[in-house]
Structure 1
Amino acid sequence: MLRVVKTLVVLAVLAAVAAFAGYRYWESRLDAPIAVEETTLYEVPRGAGYHQVVRELASRGILNDPWAFRLLVRLEPGSVPSLRAGEYALEPGMSGRELLTLLGSNEVVTYSLTVPEGWTFDQFRAALEGAEKLEQRTSGLSDDEIMARLGQEGEHPEGRFFPDTYQYHKGMSDLDILRQAHASMEEVLAETWAERQEELPIDSPYEALILASLIERETGAAEERREIAGVFTRRLERGMRLQTDPTVIYGMGERYEGNITRADLREATPYNTYVIDGLPPTPIALPGRAALEAAVNPEPGDTLYFVSRGDGTHHFSRTLREHNNAVNRYIRNR
């Protein structure tokens, strides 16, 4: 009897040792490096389950011991993360456990899209169409249809989107970026309008947006924005036409080929500020924060004219005679 007991004890010890060794081997398989030699992108499909992802990773040769990960669900179900759809960067040396943790995190691969200040909405749309990994939901839609999709039915899109760098990940769409840009412009416009000077010749945030778009298109020199805003403000106060070339160009649309003729300056379009009084009916570009701030806080002074020097800056004049002399001087220089 004693011999039987001893045998059972030995067998129990051997079983325990074998179980422990098996457990440690199983853990070693979970902690073994995945089989990638360089950064590799892997996408968890929307709605994919744990076993589906393990099978796919094994079929691609990334996980060498899929049995160990299937067993994980049975032995340690609490350690199995809920997988999140998205694109992830798998790095060399990463363990299988670390891979699973990554696939259940928010650390998806991100991309960026930069929208420069002064772009038009058409340029913004073209950039969205060319953005890699961005789902296209606005292709073939008119501007009006896009605004309706954004919940802004009847709103003209020009100027309504804030120029900035936007981050996105695979699975996001062009509408997601447009929503962000629209919300950003609403926020920045409200902030700048709340800090405006008193007694401006503009009566609403939208008029400030229009004026800012003119300033944005007239100069890229930061130090000039408020001075150009001052010229436009004084001309509006005096009932003078703004006579700014970018509005003529915008009104010409695709007909513009790089030059403005005298006939173009006389053409009666809604945007030709050589013909119409006051501001054009809509913005002509996407203005940035600095242009918006300049529009509502113009530089005081008495200048009423400006002309390009040809180097990105402008010469400002108080009288028409001084302005005409400057125009002749800079035209000759060019």
Structure 2
Amino acid sequence: MMDTDRTRRRETWHRIKGYLAVAVSLAVLVGGGYAVFDVVESRVTGFFTAAAAEDYEGNGAEDIEIEVPQGASVTDIGHILHDNDVIASTEAWQAAVASDPEASTIQAGTYAMKTRLPAATALEYLLDTDRLQVTRVTVPEGLVLSQQVEALAKSGIPAKDFEKALKRPDDLDLVPYAEGSPEGFLFPDTYEFDDDTTAGDLLRQMAGRYDDVAEDLDFEGAAQELGLTPRDIAIVASIIDKEVTIAEDRPKVARVIYNRLEQGMRLQFDSTVYYATGVYPPEQQPAGAFEPSGPPESPYNTYKVDGLPAGPISAPGRAAMEAAARPSDGDWLYFVTVNFDTGETRFTADPAEHERNVQEWRDWCEANDNPSGC
């Protein structure tokens, strides 16, 4: 009985469309333009399609996931929904689409839906981005490359896949001044992926995001203004992310670094020693590690080498990158955090004052049972 009713509805609809075409053609002749036909035909067709099309009622039946491929048209999507029994007919889908100007904004991806939905409800589901089934992985700021791999492996993609992809840096679309090394040039952020995403895909996303942020912060222009290179700024940003916890101190630490470089002073950052040895906390460093004559022999040990370390010592976030590109004005050459609870940091250009600040730091450490490895 249902098939007979459906056949009758379709026959009735085809007759109506025939009459409609004649009527609208007459309107075109009288109105003098095809614009009349376009407007009248689309609106009247939408009305009769909605009235004649088979459609489900209610709130749906069984849960189902529907994948909308990249580049799929709304017509393609209608066929996908119909093939999976989400909608009763593509005619009902076209009627729903015609009545909603947002229909063209459906995003590619996998959606949580139900079978046997009214077409208008199915469209609402697909316009609700909260129904997109995506997986996210967060890579925090200030990590070294091996730590980034550990964070990425929480996505479910094996760490060995990332390690393998990292051995082919030319495939990662790194910024040119990365000089073929991903260390410090994979931007820390939250990334979305699906079952088809590979380790290489995620790493390329990170490299692309770094490039976008560096371009937005105008690393090229900042480098020219500072008399440095974009790579230099990237390295400074990586130090800032390891040395600074208080937001307002980041641009000031950047200025300390640049002032010391201009005066030919060694940077002498403990964080570069930690990177060189691969060991933390401080009490586990080799004896004399924080002395110019001590170990380790490394181009990253700024107690032993002049200028900047050979490359980034962490993957900096946007705040550290911005501080490196836009340092504060000041004559400071020294800084030390004197209270690890509050993060209070003292800046000065006077060596004697710096020594007094260092003693205050030591006093704080002693009073607090050396909780932070002072």
- The Cα shift of 1:195 comes to 4.4
Unpaired segments ≥5 residues, structure 1? 1-14
Q: Secondary structure at the match of 2:140?
A: coil
2:337 is matched with: 308
Kindly indicate whether the alpha-carbon contact (under 8 Å) linking 2:235 and 2:312 is maintained by their aligned counterparts in 1: yes
* Cα 1:278/1:30, change in 2 over 3 Å: same
Separation in 2, partners of 1:155, 1:120: 16
Separation in 2, partners of 1:100, 1:251: 56
Match of 2:255 among 227, 230, 234: 230
- TM-superposition CA deviations, 1:39-76 (whole Å, max 9, x none): x56254989x9999878x67xxxx7xxxx95xx47x88
Unpaired segments ≥5 residues, structure 2? 13-49, 71-76, 98-105, 366-374
Q: More deviation in 298-307 or 183-192?
A: 183-192
Separation in 1, partners of 2:315, 2:155: 19
Kindly indicate whether the alpha-carbon contact (under 8 Å) linking 2:111 and 2:126 is maintained by their aligned counterparts in 1: no
> Is residue 138 of structure 2 the alignment partner of residue 114 of structure 1?
yes
Q: More deviation in 205-214 or 295-304?
A: 295-304
2:238 is matched with: 213
* Cα 1:27/1:171, change in 2 over 3 Å: same
Separation in 2, partners of 1:77, 1:257: 62
- The Cα shift of 1:269 comes to 1.6
- For 2:354, the aligned partner's letter is H
Aligned residues: 300
Q: More deviation in 191-200 or 174-183?
A: 191-200
Kindly indicate whether the alpha-carbon contact (under 8 Å) linking 1:42 and 1:90 is maintained by their aligned counterparts in 2: yes
- For 1:298, the aligned partner's letter is P
> Is residue 348 of structure 2 the alignment partner of residue 317 of structure 1?
yes
- The Cα shift of 1:262 comes to 4.1
Q: TM-score, normalised by structure 1?
A: 0.72
- TM-superposition CA deviations, 1:298-325 (whole Å, max 9, x none): 2222221111222333222322222222
Separation in 1, partners of 2:54, 2:66: 26
Match of 1:287 among 287, 294, 316: 316
- The Cα shift of 1:99 comes to 7.4
* Cα 1:236/1:97, change in 2 over 3 Å: same
> Is residue 165 of structure 2 the alignment partner of residue 150 of structure 1?
no
Q: More deviation in 119-128 or 235-244?
A: 119-128
Match of 1:277 among 306, 309, 314: 306
Separation in 2, partners of 1:333, 1:143: 42
2:359 is matched with: 328
- TM-superposition CA deviations, 1:198-257 (whole Å, max 9, x none): 663x5210111011111111102111011111111111011110001111111111x434
Q: Secondary structure at the match of 1:196?
A: helix
Kindly indicate whether the alpha-carbon contact (under 8 Å) linking 1:110 and 1:170 is maintained by their aligned counterparts in 2: no
Kindly indicate whether the alpha-carbon contact (under 8 Å) linking 1:90 and 1:99 is maintained by their aligned counterparts in 2: no
Kindly indicate whether the alpha-carbon contact (under 8 Å) linking 1:272 and 1:280 is maintained by their aligned counterparts in 2: yes
- For 1:184, the aligned partner's letter is R
1:10 is matched with: none
Kindly indicate whether the alpha-carbon contact (under 8 Å) linking 1:136 and 1:173 is maintained by their aligned counterparts in 2: no
> Is residue 62 of structure 2 the alignment partner of residue 33 of structure 1?
no
Kindly indicate whether the alpha-carbon contact (under 8 Å) linking 1:137 and 1:175 is maintained by their aligned counterparts in 2: no
- The Cα shift of 1:106 comes to 9.7
Separation in 2, partners of 1:210, 1:45: 42
Match of 1:204 among 215, 229, 240: 229
* Cα 1:214/1:298, change in 2 over 3 Å: same
RMSD (Å), alpha carbons: 4.3
- The Cα shift of 1:31 comes to 3.6
- The Cα shift of 1:127 comes to 1.9
Kindly indicate whether the alpha-carbon contact (under 8 Å) linking 2:266 and 2:303 is maintained by their aligned counterparts in 1: yes
Determine what percentage of the aligned residue pairs are the same residue. Answer: 29
Separation in 1, partners of 2:80, 2:60: 17
- The Cα shift of 1:281 comes to 0.8
Q: TM-score, normalised by structure 2?
A: 0.65
- The Cα shift of 1:160 comes to 0.9
- For 2:256, the aligned partner's letter is V
1:263 is matched with: 288
Structure with bigger RCO (C-alpha 8 Å, 6+ apart): 1
- The Cα shift of 1:292 comes to 2.0
* Cα 1:99/1:258, change in 2 over 3 Å: farther
Separation in 2, partners of 1:251, 1:293: 25
Kindly indicate whether the alpha-carbon contact (under 8 Å) linking 1:305 and 1:316 is maintained by their aligned counterparts in 2: yes
2:191 is matched with: 166
Q: Secondary structure at the match of 2:218?
A: helix
- What is the correspondence of 1:91-106 to structure 2 with a 5 Å cutoff? 95=117, 97=119
Q: Secondary structure at the match of 1:306?
A: strand
2:47 is matched with: none
1:181 is matched with: 206
Separation in 1, partners of 2:9, 2:158: 50
- For 1:42, the aligned partner's letter is E
